[in-house]
Amino acid sequence: MTTDQVRWRIGVGSDNLGFALKQLLAQRMADDHRVVEVVDYGVPDEHDSTAYPHVGLRAAEAVARGEVDRAVLVCGTGIGMSISANKVPGVRASVAADSYSVQRSVLSNNCQVLCFGARVIGPELAATLLDEWLGHVFDEASPSQRKVAVISDYEQREQGLAS
Ligand SMILES: O=C[C@H](O)[C@H](O)COP(=O)(O)O
């Protein structure tokens, strides 16, 4: 399957600071033929004070369970969402504000979660980076796979699933 043929199920989530950007990005994906489903993990409005870890963990768990393929998470800086999502075993999240980092988060690190800082990045740059991100697919046969596997193996050991 080429990257043109991939059809994504994407989770979105934010805290109150990231709400407006989350809504914009969700709308852009709803209009994107590469995205078959957008699942919103909150917050439902800009006045909802749910703290970012609750949303980030909920969305990352959905990725880990395979309910969605990837997730886009937004808070003030993207940092808190990234930290939270990375706590979920099997999930790799990155915060990014440039094209190269977005590309490498997938091609080097096989990240399934992209985080944006609504107080860091402009909405149209975030939308452009999102568009690029949807076109990147990790190559399981690439030399990067064995590096990512070190992280996965560590997680498995920590969970007592491997020796
Ligand atoms: O990483 C955290 C986010 O930027 C969040 O939106 C704001 O968190 P704070 O209220 O603790 O600064």
15 C-alpha to center of ligand 1: Å? 8
Least confident of 6-10, 47-51, 97-101, 157-161: 157-161
* pLDDT at residue 163 tops 60: no
Euclidean distance between CA atoms 3 and 90, whole angstroms: 22
The 10s digit of each residue's pLDDT in 21-42 is 999 999 999 999 999 999 999 9
Q: What is the pLDDT of residue 12?
A: 99
pTM of the model: 0.96
Q: What is the pLDDT of residue 18?
A: 98
Q: Which residue ranges make up each domain of the chain?
A: 3-158
* pLDDT at residue 161 tops 80: no
The 10s digit of each residue's pLDDT in 55-69 is 999 999 999 999 999
80 C-alpha to center of ligand 1: Å? 6
CA 104 to chain CA centroid, Å, is 13
Helix (H, G, I), strand (E, B) or coil at 95: strand
CA distances from 21 to 14, 17, 27, 62, 123 (A): 8, 9, 10, 21, 6
Of 14, 16, 17, the one to substitute when testing ligand 1's pocket (max ligand atoms within 8 A of C-beta) is: 17
Nearest CA to ligand 1 atom 7: 76
Tell me, what's the ipTM?
A: 0.96
Q: What is the pLDDT of residue 4?
A: 72
Cβ contact 15:75 at 8 Å: yes
Euclidean distance between CA atoms 9 and 107, whole angstroms: 19
The 10s digit of each residue's pLDDT in 98-148 is 999 999 999 999 999 999 999 999 999 999 999 999 999 999 999 999 999
155 C-alpha to center of ligand 1: Å? 27
Strand arrangement of the beta sheet that strand 8-14 belongs to? 35-40, 8-14, 70-75, 113-117, 93-95
CA angle 126, 132, 141 (to 5 degrees): 135
CA distances from 29 to 50, 52, 157 (A): 24, 22, 36
Q: Which residues line ligand 1 (CB under 6 A)?
A: 15, 17, 52, 75-77, 79-80
Domain 3-158 has CATH 1.10.1530.10: no
Residue 77 has what DSSP assignment?
A: S
7 C-alpha to center of ligand 1: Å? 32
CB atoms within 10 A of CB 143: 8
Is 115 catalytic? The answer is: no
Catalytic choice (59, 75, 106, 130) = 75
Where does the pLDDT of residue 1 fall: very low under 50, low under 70, confident under 90, or very high at 90 and above?
low
